[in-house]
Amino acid sequence: MSQNLQYPPRFYCVYLLRSIAKTNSFYIGSTPDPYRRLRQHNGELAAGGADRTKKNGFRPWQMTLVVYGFPSKISALQFEHAWHHAYQTRHIPDKKRIGTKSSSRSVHIKIANLKLLLSAQAFGRMGLRVAIFQKAIYDIWVMNRYNVAVAESVHLKLDFEESQQKLIEGGNYDQIKTFVKSLEKEEDDYFEKSLEELEQNEARECCVCHTVVDQFQDVLGFCASKDCHTLYHVQCWAEEMTKGLVSEPLSDSVLPLTPVKGKCVKCLKVNWWWPVVKNSMRLHRHFTEIGRSCIEN
């Protein structure tokens, strides 16, 4: 099984730009590097930037909202496309659909559609997160004019700390930079903690099946809680988390159930599933590379 793993991108997001000059103008896009992308949209980098954001009088753009936590670039592109075409996407059932092609320019409808997509069958189990960088957008999110319930699994991260002067000069670069850095740090700390655990302790057991793990072969998951040292086979933990859950009646195929979140068997703290998987993929790649270089030498 281990040979065919698809490693996820370090980061990939779908974003909502809002023109600072013309606040009723928005742009939806996706990128692995939001800081660089925003500079492109604002014309600070010669190459790149979508034509629509180059038009006179719209720059600078602010990145007001970011959806992240996608397991692959493709899933982010699908989400971007669905949000862009919310008036006709198959990811929103007709009876829930809000707005038409022309009315979807309204920011209230944009946010309502975003909420619908976050709960859609294809995206709802990914454990996606949303970061909002503009208070006005957050107010619209809270106002919830179209009464769309947000999936309980959606994390919200808020940061409205950007000086007005900087915004006028162009974009919210500091916010975006800090945001990406803090995510990377979170992931790096988790990865380092996991590595240390594996290096310090010999003959570690999976907490569910109690067999001794082999980091060169198995896909391993650690509890993300700082003081907890519990280790699992990812598969064993997923089965443990989804025990007793019934697959949603929506799906006619009986797909194996992927958890969105679940408790650590030992410390009982809630672990979000996607960060666990992402970390275990990184561990797997790390040990696969070590294994490979041992064979080559």
In the complex, what is the shortest distance from the CB of residue 212 to Zn ion, in angstroms, rounded to a whole number? 10
Site for Zn ion in 2-41 (CB under 5 A): none
First to last CA, the chain: 25
- 224 lines the binding site for Zn ion (CB under 5 A): no
Tokens of 283: 């561990």
Site for Zn ion in 249-268 (CB under 5 A): 264, 266-267
Looking at beta carbons only, is 114 or 206 nearer to Zn ion? 206
Distance CA(66)–CA(29), nearest Å, equals 10
Closest CA to 64 of 175, 142, 154, 163: 175
Site for Zn ion in 182-211 (CB under 5 A): 206, 208-209
HSE, side-chain direction, 13 A CA sphere, residue 74: 4
Distance CA(16)–CA(65), nearest Å, equals 5
Kindly report the length of the chain.
Answer: 297
Q: Is the dihedral of CA 222, 226, 228, 229 positive or negative?
A: positive
List all residues 6 or more positions away from 289 whose beta carbon is below 8 Å from its beta carbon: none
**Residue from the set 92, 120, 137, 223 that interacts with Zn ion by CB under 5 A:** 223
- 283 lines the binding site for Zn ion (CB under 5 A): no
Tokens of 225: 């809680």
In the complex, what is the shortest distance from the CB of residue 233 to Zn ion, in angstroms, rounded to a whole number? 3
Looking at beta carbons only, is 82 or 277 nearer to Zn ion? 277
- Neighbouring CB atoms inside 10 A of 42's CB total 23
Looking at beta carbons only, is 123 or 232 nearer to Zn ion? 232
Looking at beta carbons only, is 97 or 204 nearer to Zn ion? 204
**Residue from the set 25, 31, 230, 279 that interacts with Zn ion by CB under 5 A:** 230
Looking at beta carbons only, is 141 or 237 nearer to Zn ion? 237
- 238 lines the binding site for Zn ion (CB under 5 A): no
Q: Which residues bind Zn ion (CB under 5 A)?
A: 206, 208-209, 223, 225, 228, 230, 233, 236, 264, 266-267
